[in-house]
Structure 1
Amino acid sequence: MTQAESTTCAVVGGGPAGMVLGLLLARAGVGVTVFEKHSDFLRDFRGDTVHPVTLTLLDDLGLYDRFMALPHSEVHRAQFTIGGRKVTVADFGRLREPHPLLALVPQWDLLNLLADAAQDEPTFTLRMKTEVTGLLRDGDRVTGVRYDGPDGPGELRANLTVACDGRTSLVRREAGMVPREFPVPFDVAWFRLDAVAEIKYQLTPRISADLPLILIPREGYFQAGALIPKGGESQLHARGFDTFRTRVADLVPEASVESITSWDDVKVLDVRLNRLHRWYKPGLLCIGDAAHAMSPAGGVGINLAVADAVATASVVAEPLLAGTLSEADLAKVQRRRKMPAVVTQGVQRLLHVGLRRAILGGRVPQPPKAAERALSALLSRLPGLSVVPAYLVGVGVLPERAPAFARRAAR
Structure 2
Amino acid sequence: MSTDTTCLIVGGGPAGMIAGLLLARAGVEVTVLEKHADFLRDFRGDTVHPSTLRLLDELGLGERFDALPQSRLEQVAFPLGEQSVTIADFRRLRTSRPYIAMVPQWDLLDLLAEAAHEEPTFTLRMNTRATELLRENGRVVGARHEGPDGTGETRARLTLACDGRGSLLRDLSGLQSREFPVDIDAWWFRLPGSASQEFALAPRTAEGRFMVIFPREGYLQIAYIGHKGADAQLRERGIAAFRDDIAELAPEFADRTEALRSMDDVKHLDVRVDRLRRWHTDGLLCIGDAAHAMSPVGGVGINLAVQDAVGAATLLAGPLRKGGPTPAELAQVRRRRLPPTVVVQTLQRLIHRNVVTPILTGRRAGPPKPVVEALRRFPALTRVPAFLIGMGVRSEHAPAFARRAAGAVEKPVDAPRD
Q: TM-score range by the shorter chain?
A: over 0.9
SS in 1 for 2:36: coil
Given that 2:205 and 2:365 are in contact with CA atoms closer than 8 Å, whether structure 1 keeps it comes out as no
Mapping 1:7-406, distance limit 5 Å: 7-82=5-80, 85-195=83-193, 200=198, 202-255=200-253, 256-354=256-354, 355-359=356-360, 361=361, 363=362, 365=364, 372=369, 375-406=371-402
Contact 1:82–1:376 (CA under 8 A) maintained in structure 2: no
- Structure 1 range deviating more: 261-270 or 323-332: 323-332
Distance in 2 (alpha carbons) for counterparts of 1:103 and 1:58: 12
2:8 partner SS: strand
Counterpart of 2:204 in 1: which secondary structure?
Answer: coil
Aligned CA distance change for structure 1 residues 186 and 320 (closer, same or farther; 3 Å):
same
Cα distance in structure 1, aligned partners of 2:199 and 2:37 = 31
Name the amino acid aligned to 1:357. Answer: P
For 1:307 and 1:63, the matched residues in 2 are separated by 16
Describe the shift of the 1:224–1:160 C-alpha distance in structure 2 as closer, same or farther (beyond 3 A): same
* Partners of 1:80 and 1:380 in 2: CA distance: 12
Cα deviations by residue, 1:355-396 (Å, 9 ceiling, x for unpaired)? 12322x4x252589xx73x54443233111100011111011
Distance 1:278 1:136 in 2: 20
| Structure 2: gaps (5+ residues) | 409-418
Deviating 4+ runs (over 6 angstroms): none
The CA RMSD over aligned residues, in Å, is 1.8
Residue 89 (structure 1) shift: 1.1
User: Distance between the aligned counterparts of 1:201 and 1:402, measured in 2?
Assistant: 33
Decide whether aligned partners of structure 1 residues 405 and 153 sit closer, same or farther in structure 2, where only a CA change above 3 A counts. same
Q: Aligned AA for 1:252? A: A
Measure the CA separation in 2 of the matches of 1:156 and 1:56.
Answer: 34
Q: Please list every run of 5 or more consecutive structure 1 residues that lacks an aligned counterpart in the other structure.
A: none
**Per the alignment, do residues 290 and 137 of structure 1 end up closer, same or farther by CA in structure 2, a change over 3 Å counting?**
same
Rate the CA distance shift 1:345–1:196 in 2: closer, same or farther, 3 A.
closer
- Preserved CA contact (<8 Å) 1:73 1:201: no
The answer as to whether partners of 1:199 and 1:254 remain within 8 angstroms in 2 is no
Distance (Å, rounded) in 2 between the aligned partners of 1:196 and 1:91: 23
Paired residue type of 1:288 = G
| 3-state SS of paired residue (1:180) | strand
Measure the CA separation in 2 of the matches of 1:316 and 1:60.
19
- Separation of aligned partners in 1, 2:250 and 2:234: 18
Is 1:408 the equivalent of 2:412? no
Choose 251-260 or 305-314, whichever is displaced more: 251-260
TM-score by structure 2 length? Answer: 0.93
Greater alpha carbon shift after TM alignment, 47-56 vs 198-207: 198-207
- Do the aligned partners of 1:303 and 1:396 also contact (CA within 8 Å) in 2? no
Match of 2:2 among 1, 4, 8: 4
In 2: Cα distance, 1:386 partner to 1:398 partner:
19
**2: distance between equivalents of 1:228 and 1:353?**
14
Shift of 1:196: 6.2
What amino acid does structure 1 have at the position aligned with 2:323? G
Q: Is the 8 A contact 2:195 2:215 kept in 1?
A: no
Aligned counterparts of 1:334 and 1:131: Cα–Cα separation in 2: 26
How far, CA to CA, are the matches of 1:173 and 1:293 in structure 2?
A: 14
Relative distance call for 1:376 and 1:348 in structure 2 (3 A) is closer
Looking at structure 1, the residues matched to 103 and 297 of structure 2 have their Cα atoms a distance apart, in angstroms, of 19
Secondary structure of the structure 2 residue equivalent to 1:116:
helix
**How much has 1:202 moved relative to structure 2?**
3.0
TM-score, normalised by the number of residues in structure 1: 0.94
Deviating more after overlay: 226-235 vs 60-69? 226-235
**Given that residues 50 and 98 in structure 2 are in contact (C-alpha distance below 8 angstroms), is that contact kept between their aligned partners in structure 1?**
yes
Instruction: Give the Cα–Cα distance (whole angstroms) in 2 for the partners of residues 375 and 327 of structure 1.
Output: 44
Residue identity in the other structure for 1:86: S
